[in-house]
Amino acid sequence: MMKFLRKKGGFTLIEMLMVILIIGFLVGILMIRASNVAADAKKKAVAADLKSLKAAVEVHYIRYGQYPADVSGYFTADIIEDSATRLVDEIPDDPYNGTTKYGYDTDNEADPASAQFYCIYSVGPDGAGSCHVNVADTVTSTDTNNIWVSNCKTNNHGGI
């Protein structure tokens, strides 16, 4: 009769530790995946911005017969906007730098009307990227993490 009144209830310490260990392992995996998702999302946002800005530069070329001048080394509103028309609503900030615009370079800064090639770039995840284009239809980048677009025939999709 005494055996019948005794109930086995609850979990042992080992069982509780195993459950906590499994839950911790799953949370750790989810945290690693979440951090990779954020980095991938930022890179995809930069790629979309650069493609949009490239389209605006190409429209500028069609309208005015020349690529925009490299006025400051950065992609600013005055490069692709004028009082009559706007090629983009707003030039976004580079997500990797946050406070500055994307970089912009042409193969002929002294005479923008004769420029044939351009490069629009983000500084990339490490913040050290740049991009230069020359009259030989070649883009050079100072950083392997750099993300850029160009109209050059050689290496014209840099990381996108």
Q: What pLDDT, in 10s, does the model give residues 57-101?
A: 888 888 888 888 766 667 666 666 655 666 777 778 888 877 778
What average pLDDT score do residues 9-32 get?
90
Does residue 12 form part of some domain?
no
134 touches 115 (CB < 8 A): no
Q: pLDDT exceeding 70 applies to what percent of the chain?
A: 72
Does residue 140 form part of some domain?
yes
pLDDT-derived band at 43, boundaries 50, 70, 90: confident
Question: E strands along 20-129, which residues?
Answer: 103-106, 118-122
pLDDT at res. 114:
83
Going by C-alpha positions, the residue among 35, 103, 107 that lies closest to residue 75 is 103
Is the whole-model pTM more than 0.85? no
Say how far apart CA 147 and CA 157 lie, in whole Å. Answer: 8
Does residue 24 form part of some domain?
no
10 Å Cβ neighbour count for 21?
10
108 lies in which domain range? Answer: 45-160
pLDDT at res. 73:
67
Q: Which of 44-58, 115-129, 144-158 has the highest mean pLDDT?
A: 44-58
Q: Domain with 103 in it: what CATH number?
A: 3.30.700
Q: What is the chain's mean pLDDT, rounded?
A: 77
Does residue 118 form part of some domain?
yes
- Structurally, how many domains does the chain consist of? 1
